[in-house]
A = this chain, B = another copy of it.
Amino acid sequence: MLLYNSRVSGNCYKVRLLLAHLGVPYERRELDVVDRSNRPDVLGGLNPALRVPTLVLDDGRALAESGAILWYFGEGTRFVPQDRLDRARVLQWMFFEQYEAEPTLAVARFLIAYSQLPRAEYEKRLPRLWEGGKKALGAMDLHLGTGRDWFVGDGPTLADFALYGYAHCCEEGEFELGRYPSVTAWLDRVAALPGHVPMAA
């Protein structure tokens, strides 16, 4: 099994984190997140969005989108609840992550820390990204602040891994985690899980 990967992509990290918890072996092939010129050659026919992560199974069939890859491996494990509504709520937070958190937290982080662009070139985009990212972190903090240890149910699920991907490194996008004490406590909880691997692993 082959994972087209980027070391610095939170979307790829979510997948690596789950596979580490599940003990699933795989190979990685690293793609550049700044120079994307080889994407059509490498990912064409595998992933219509030409993004990482893209997974190729041993039989050659491909799967894309971090949330779908998480679901593929997570279904039937302790990280996807048995209860139908809880299962849908795991997806609720995964869709929330891709719609509200990723396009703000990840993009601000990418521009500031990885794009290699002079700040003047993207500075005007930052206020909108910060506003959206704060809204997402605020919603997460509010949810966790009602006495929850995890986003859905009583234990870690795919929702926690999905949200952890970019929340744990959002300070690289100049967000202040100190403003979100419930998020901070939850990040520590995820990182303390047996089998946890850091993004750089």
Chain A residues with CB under 8 Å of chain B are: 48-49, 57, 61, 63-69, 71-72, 75, 84-85, 87-89, 91-92, 94-96, 98-100, 102-103, 139-140, 142-143
- Cβ A95 vs Cβ B75 within 8 A: no
With contacts A48-B143, A95-B95, A139-B49 taken as known, whether A85 is within 8 angstroms of B65 at the C-beta atoms is no
With contacts A95-B98, A142-B48 taken as known, whether A84 is within 8 angstroms of B88 at the C-beta atoms is no
- Cβ A68 vs Cβ B49 within 8 A: no
List, in ascending order, chain B residues with CB within 8 A of A99's CB: 49, 65, 98-99, 102-103
Give the dominant DSSP class at A's interface: helix
List, in ascending order, chain B residues with CB within 8 A of A84's CB: 72, 75
The residue of chain B having its C-beta at the shortest distance from the C-beta of A95 within the complex is: B65
Assembly CA distance A73 to B142 (angstroms) = 27
- Cβ A68 vs Cβ B88 within 8 A: yes
Partner of A85, one of B61, B92, B142: B61
The residue of chain B having its C-beta at the shortest distance from the C-beta of A138 within the complex is: B48
13 extra A-B contacts, CB within 8 A, seeds A68-B88, A68-B94: A61-B85, A65-B92, A66-B95, A67-B95, A68-B92, A69-B88, A72-B85, A72-B87, A72-B88, A75-B84, A75-B87, A94-B95, A98-B98
User: Shortest Cβ distance from A125 into chain B, in angstroms?
Assistant: 10
List, in ascending order, chain B residues with CB within 8 A of A87's CB: 71-72, 75
Assembly CA distance A75 to B69 (angstroms) = 18
Assembly CA distance A61 to B100 (angstroms) = 22
- Cβ A140 vs Cβ B95 within 8 A: no
Task: Jot down 22 A-B pairs with beta carbons below 8 A, ordered by A.
Answer: A48-B96, A48-B143, A49-B96, A49-B100, A49-B139, A57-B85, A64-B96, A65-B92, A65-B95, A65-B99, A67-B95, A68-B88, A68-B95, A69-B88, A71-B87, A71-B88, A71-B91, A72-B88, A94-B95, A99-B99, A99-B102, A103-B103
